[in-house]
Homo-oligomer: A and B are copies of this chain.
Amino acid sequence: MDSADELGRRDRKKLETRTALERAALTLVAERGLAGVTVEDIAEAVDVSSRTFFNYFPSKEDALIGPGPASAAELCERLEELPADVPVLEALRLMSRVEAEHVQQQREQWLLRLKVFEQNPSLLPRLVTSGTETERAITAAVARRAGIELGTSGYPELATAAAMAAFRVAMIRWSAAGGRPELADLVDEAFAQLAAGLPNP
């Protein structure tokens, strides 16, 4: 994929400051804890004003959380482009594997991020969580794929939420194991348990 090319100088600089702010936020909070770092600290580390920080992120926490909605559209595309005869849960698994590869590509950053989440539990509710724009988008795509009106059966909402839970558990296990196993394998494991109806192991 194209990632850093095809951008004017302006957008390149914007992307740079954004990632610099994210990186600074992560490393500082990893060192001193969420409460031990102020927005001004983060901004100074990147040599911008704290007002500029808030031009990029609506809150200190948001600088730690990562892409989120940015990739929502891309995720949905993955769902859409799968053949219609692929079952919903299988489609969600494949989508999650793609996302897992993205995570693996930024291995160190994600491991650091997950460590920060573990050390600051108040962040956990926002890990791969419900109620986001991302979830809404995926739910809509699932509904389309299953041929269901949104808000009638609850199936798209549940399938999506369960898939996100599977992905979240895989991420946490991955982090707990020091990033040693393949994240994609852990994702597969979780989806296999889901598809089997979560029988007693």
Binding site for B on A (CB under 8 A): 87-89, 121, 123-127, 129-132, 146, 148, 151, 153-155, 157-159, 161-162, 164-166, 168-170, 172-173, 176, 186, 189-190, 193-201
User: A148 — which chain B residues lie within 8 A by C-beta?
Assistant: 201
A137–B201 Cα distance when bound, in Å, is 20
* Chain B residues near A88 (CB-CB < 8 A): 198, 200
Are A195 and B194 closer than 8 Å at their CB atoms?
no
CB-defined contacts of A190 to chain B, threshold 8 Å: 154, 158
Is the pair B169, A89 in contact by a Cβ cutoff of 8 Å?
A: no
Q: Which residues of the other chain, B, contact A121 by a CB distance below 8 angstroms? A: 131
Give the chain B neighbours of A124 by CB distance below 8 A: 130-132
How close is A127's CB to chain B, nearest CB, in angstroms? Answer: 7
B-side contacts of A126, CB under 8 Å = 125
Please measure, in the bound complex, the distance between the C-alpha atom of A124 and the C-alpha atom of B129, giving whole angstroms: 9
A164: chain B residues within 8 A (beta carbon): 165
Most buried by B among A154, A170, A201: A154
Do A198 and B165 touch (CB < 8 A)? no
Nearest-CB residue, chain B, relative to A117 = B131
Distance in Å: Cβ of A63 to nearest Cβ of chain B: 16
CB-based contact B159/A162 at 8 Å: no
Contact, CB under 8 Å: A87 / B130: no
Q: From A139, which residue of chain B is reached at the shortest CB distance?
A: B169
Cβ-defined contact, A169 with B161, below 8 A:
yes
In the assembled complex, the Cα of A196 lies from the Cα of B165 at a distance in Å of 17
- Give A59's nearest chain B residue, CB to CB: B122
A198 touches which of B162, B169, B170, B199 (Cβ 8 Å): B162
In whole angstroms, what is the CA distance A148 to B200 when docked?
A: 10
Give the chain B neighbours of A153 by CB distance below 8 A. Answer: 201
